[in-house]
């Protein structure tokens, strides 16, 4: 990806997903098993239907969402528009490389900490940042553990982790098929996975109480790592 193309991609993402409400609507539709209507989104976010429609149509224009038709008729006799995810990935290569560089530098710094508890420090750093993200996105209590996993997987995806839910492989967790830490995670799994685990723990702290997070690192770049959420006893 060239610098010019990167700048264009960033501008596109900022225009489409820079607004906090629009970004939250995009994540809600993306994580939903069914297409969502204007009324659904308006009710979920406590906004006027015209505002919900404005954000949804903006996401359609940017090709993040697409319109389908309901099988039932809305007021006036016309089928209501429904909105669903288009499978367009929100992913930029250059930030991932920068992320990997910063992670490598962080790992080097932590390895020089006199206490030697680099994994514990990395966890604390990740947890603090996760709490900030949860607060900024107004994450609230999840109705069950599976819902918390869905929420976390969506947020992590938006942060550059390419995540995928597959309950046949991980019952209460998700797979990360692309980690922005790149080769740094392979070279420093104790530090990087502690940072990752702390980040997830920070996110879940506001959604569901008494959740324990575990991260199984990948052994090669092409293999996924596994994040699992369980209720503490």
Confidence of residue 148 (pLDDT cuts 50, 70, 90): confident
Q: Are residues 45 and 153 in the same domain?
A: no
Q: Are residues 169 and 201 in the same domain?
A: yes
Q: What is the pLDDT of residues 48-57, one digit of tens each?
A: 999 999 889 9
3-state secondary structure of 126: helix
Q: List, edge to edge, every strand of the sheet that includes 211-216.
A: 162-164, 173-178, 225-231, 211-216
Percentage, residues of the chain above pLDDT 90: 12
The domain that contains 160 carries what CATH number?
3.30.1380.20
Confidence of residue 1 (pLDDT cuts 50, 70, 90): very low
Q: Classify each residue of 156-183 as buried b or exposed e, where b means 16 or more C-beta atoms within 10 Å of its C-beta.
A: bbbebbbbeeeeeebebbbbbebbbbbe
pLDDT score recorded for residue 154: 87
Listed residues 85, 105, 135: the one ending a domain? 85
Q: What is the pLDDT of residues 3-58, one digit of tens each?
A: 444 444 444 544 556 577 787 888 888 878 889 999 999 998 888 999 999 889 98
Q: Are residues 75 and 133 in the same domain?
A: no
Q: Are residues 202 and 108 in the same domain?
A: yes
Contact in structure between 25 and 59 (CB atoms under 8 Å): yes
84 exposure class (CB count in 10 Å sphere: 0-12, 13-18, 19+): middle
Q: Are residues 141 and 226 in the same domain?
A: yes
The domain that contains 57 carries what CATH number?
1.10.10.10
Question: Dihedral sign, CA of 138, 143, 145, 147?
Answer: negative
Q: What average pLDDT does the chain have?
A: 77
Listed residues 50, 85, 120: the one ending a domain? 85
Q: Are residues 114 and 200 in the same domain?
A: yes
Contact in structure between 188 and 197 (CB atoms under 8 Å): no
Confidence of residue 115 (pLDDT cuts 50, 70, 90): low
Torsion of CA 66, 69, 70, 74, to 10 degrees: 110
Confidence of residue 71 (pLDDT cuts 50, 70, 90): low
Q: Are residues 168 and 200 in the same domain?
A: yes
Domain encompassing residue 54:
3-85
Q: Is the pLDDT of residue 145 over 80?
A: yes
Q: Are residues 222 and 118 in the same domain?
A: yes
Spatial separation of the C-alpha atoms in residues 163 and 152, rounded to whole Å: 10
Q: Is the pLDDT of residue 83 over 90?
A: yes
Q: Are residues 168 and 214 in the same domain?
A: yes
Q: Are residues 164 and 109 in the same domain?
A: yes
- The label of the residue with tokens 């692309």 reads 178
- Please name the residues in contact with 50: beta carbons below 8 A apart, sequence gap of 6 or more: none
Q: Are residues 120 and 55 in the same domain?
A: no
pLDDT score recorded for residue 171: 77
Q: Are residues 127 and 169 in the same domain?
A: yes
Count of domains observed in the chain: 2
Question: Dihedral sign, CA of 181, 186, 190, 194?
Answer: positive
Confidence of residue 98 (pLDDT cuts 50, 70, 90): low
Contacts of residues 13-16 at CB distance under 8 Å and 24 or more positions apart, as own/partner, are: 13/90, 13/92, 15/62, 16/58, 16/59, 16/62, 16/64
Spatial separation of the C-alpha atoms in residues 27 and 29, rounded to whole Å: 6
- Please name the residues in contact with 104: beta carbons below 8 A apart, sequence gap of 6 or more: 184
- The label of the residue with tokens 């993306």 reads 30
Listed residues 38, 59, 85: the one ending a domain? 85
Question: 69-73, 143-147, 185-189: which has the minimum mean pLDDT?
Answer: 69-73
């Amino acid at each position: 990806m060239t610098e010019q193309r990167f700048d264009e991609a960033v501008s596109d993402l900022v225009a489409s997903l820079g607004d906090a409400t629009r970004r939250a609507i995009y994540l809600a539709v993306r994580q939903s098993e069914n297409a969502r209507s204007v009324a659904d989104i308006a009710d979920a976010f406590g906004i006027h239907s015209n505002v919900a429609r404005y954000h949804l149509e903006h996401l359609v224009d940017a090709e993040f969402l697409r319109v389908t038709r309901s099988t039932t008729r809305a007021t006036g006799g016309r089928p209501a528009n429904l909105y669903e995810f288009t499978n367009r990935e929100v992913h930029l290569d250059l930030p991932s490389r920068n992320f990997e560089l910063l992670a490598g530098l962080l790992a080097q710094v932590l390895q020089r900490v006199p206490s030697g508890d680099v994994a514990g420090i990395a966890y604390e750093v990740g947890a603090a940042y996760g709490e900030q993200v949860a607060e900024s996105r107004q994450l609230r209590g999840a109705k069950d553990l599976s819902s918390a996993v869905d929420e976390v997987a969506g947020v992590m995806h938006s942060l550059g982790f390419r995540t995928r839910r597959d309950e046949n492989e991980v019952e209460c967790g998700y797979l990360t098929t692309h980690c922005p830490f790149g080769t740094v995670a392979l070279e420093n799994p104790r530090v990087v996975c502690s940072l990752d685990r702390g980040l997830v723990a920070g996110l879940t702290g506001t959604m569901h109480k008494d959740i324990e997070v575990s991260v199984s690192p990948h052994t090669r770049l092409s293999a996924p790592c596994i994040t699992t959420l369980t209720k503490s006893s």
